[in-house]
Chain A
Amino acid sequence: MHIPDGYLSPSTCAATFAMAAPFWYVASRKVKAQLHTKLVPLMAVVSAFSFVVMMFNLPLPGGTTGHAVGLAVAAIVLGPWAAVLSISIALLIQAVFFGDGGITAIGANCFNMAIVGPFVAYAVYQVIAGRSALTSVRRVVAAGVAGYVGINMAALIAAIAFGLQPMLFHDTTGAPLYAPYPLSIAVPAMMIGHLTIAGIAEAVAAAGLVAVLQRYEPELLDLTASRHVAERGWGQTRGLWFGLGLFMLLSPLGLLAAGTAWGEWGAEDFADPAVRQEIAAASGNVAPPAAVPAGLERLSGVWSAPIPDYAPAFLKDERLGYILSAVMGSGLVLLVFVGFGALRDRRSQSA
């Protein structure tokens, strides 16, 4: 996958540099905003890891071996933008210091392996992993598929770049000046190797590494699993939701209560002899005022409750009225907090 010098024309190399440059710029901005002073040390050690991990040869099913680029792993653990930077740095050092990949082809290699591969892998991982728990098998499968698709997309872009060369660049005798095979040969030739050995190596590396991290360091998978709302929202609060539902169903128990709720009297209660007796009983046998207090009378008309006494007018059954009131009341409270949460998220994103 590391394209050496001489396979791509200088104009192709320049074009791939130009295509990669905006990604490098945005990646550096985003990662710096995320990491602040940690940018330099963390990117340095992660880039070093990206370099070293390419030296690990993995045994593959079928008896062969292959080494992975680690593009899916980097995207899953660090996110796609940090993966862009770390893999690009690793590729740059590989090209300049170790001669693996051409210096003029650094832009093409970075575009394929540090940009297309990680972004595709990240998208596939997120789609398949969805809102599953950090330790679910689904994430292992998602990582494997992400690695496989990511490396093959990177290979496809490289193959297309190869295949375009003989169409565009010839010498005076008609001989191709760079990669000599047209798209009809370059694409299948490149893809056969990647759909089989290299793709499986990347899939094994990504799936296996996610499985290892799930077992030993699951928190490392947390950064890009921001969408595991299910685990935070449902998995951890499942008991609370069940409890809330149970209390709603039990809310008609309030009908069994005798007496009156002290202080929760309406203006009309002062004119009802039975209620006056209850008020007196609840107040240490102190008789309530003969007339409705002036302030209470004045303010009682300000607001009319839509469901007075938890009994909607359209429901004959008091118990159903209580349950419906509980559902509506809880729902309104939840809506208010969801609204506040969304407002807070929007503010934190814009900050």
Chain B
Amino acid sequence: MEDPAYGVCTCRGKKRRGLLESLIFGLIGADTHSLEAETTSALPGLLQGVDPRLKLVSLLALIVAAVSTQRLTVLAALFLLAVGLAVVSQIRLARLVRQVWIGVFLFSGVIVLPALVLVPGETIAHLPLFGWPITLQGLRSASFVIGRAETAATLSLLLVLTTPWPHVLKALRSLGMPAAVVAILGMTHRYIFVLMQSALQMAEARQSRLMAPLDGPARRRLMLTMIGMLLSRTLTLGTEVHAAMIARGYRGEVRLLDEFRTRPSDWAFLLATLAVAATILGGRL
């Protein structure tokens, strides 16, 4: 049985979403993620109170440290540090489990699981049923990959959940990123939601006009036509936005406001995280 084009089909006893439903759920999910990020960034937590520029540098340093460390214990400590930062920043662990940990574990787990038996080394156990040797090196390698991916993804999510996107952009600007790139990133972020809304409306409009399931080629045409129309709307939108910017005095020079003020506590947070990262990197831990 093929996927339904619309609705939720009970195919062979399993509930499966149609293509349009999957698209709509995906678009709504991305929108929800953004709304939740805005909500959590306004909570009175530790990371929310840190200057965005120093917070960006601090979290990037910890991510680099997590990717660089050669010890699983250090990696575990960094993961716990990330969890601790989440807790003191009022980020619920359930959110991290849902948004990061399960997804990363499943994705990376599938990829590195064969490494347990494929990486040569000292045998520490045998795979039940098959009897294949599980090596210490394979287990350590899989742990490194999953641990690094989980820790880095957690720290990345903490940055987004505790910092409004415009502040992240201004922080990037203060780190030397060209103003035009920062402006494009800011506008891209805004228009992602405009285009997602447009795609959502197209999907819902098409869904409401479908009277029967479509066959494979028809479903393919449906999605491709939607993408084509979205591209056409995108380019029209670009022209309109450009005209609006020109009308408001834009002549190609991007100017961004930067009203951040650092406090001693911000610098203390930066020094603490840099000390951790420097110890790991400098000590080759």
Residues of A within 8 A of B (CB): 4-7, 9-10, 13, 28, 32, 36-49, 51-53, 55-61, 63, 65, 73, 77, 85, 89-90, 92-93, 95-99, 102-104, 166, 171-181, 185, 204-205, 208-209, 211-213, 216-217, 220
Contacts and interface: CB of A to CB of B under 8 A. Distances in A.
Residue of A46, A92, A211 contacting most chain B CB atoms (<10 Å) = A46
Interface in B137-153: 137-138, 140-142, 144-149, 151-153
Given A40-B180, A55-B23, A99-B156, A92 B185 contact: yes
Contacts of A179: 145
A216 B216 CA distance: 22
Contact of B188 (A48, A58, A59, A172): A48
A99 B99 contact: yes
A98 B30 contact: yes
B12 interface: no
Given A181-B115, A213-B228, A171 B70 contact: yes
B134 interface: no
A216 B23 CA distance: 23
B52 to A, nearest CB: 13
A48 B195 contact: yes
Residue of B27, B141, B178, B254 contacting most chain A CB atoms (<10 Å) = B141
A120 B211 CA distance: 42
B86 interface: no
Given A51-B188, A53-B227, A104 B235 contact: no
Interface of B: 2-3, 19, 22-23, 26-27, 30, 33-34, 37, 60, 63-64, 66-68, 70-71, 99-100, 104, 107-108, 112, 114-115, 118-119, 121-122, 136-138, 140-142, 144-149, 151-153, 156-157, 159-160, 165, 168, 178, 180-181, 183-192, 194-196, 199, 216, 219-221, 223-232, 234-235, 237-239, 241-242, 245-246, 250-252, 254
Contact of B138 (A32, A45, A180): A180
Task: Tell me the interface secondary structure of chain B in the complex.
Answer: helix
B224 A212 contact: yes
B67 A104 contact: yes
A51 B34 CA distance: 14
B149 A7 contact: yes
Contact of B228 (A13, A39, A212): A212
B184 A59 contact: no
Given A6-B147, A47-B188, A180 B3 contact: no
Contacts of B186: 44
A85 B188 CA distance: 12
Contact of A49 (B108, B151, B195, B223): B195
B199 A37 contact: no
B271 to A, nearest CB: 22
18 contacts: A6-B151, A40-B187, A40-B254, A41-B238, A43-B188, A44-B188, A45-B237, A77-B231, A85-B184, A93-B185, A96-B160, A97-B37, A99-B153, A171-B144, A176-B115, A209-B231, A217-B232, A220-B231
A41 B30 contact: no
Contacts of A60: 220
A42 B238 contact: yes
Nearest to B68: A10
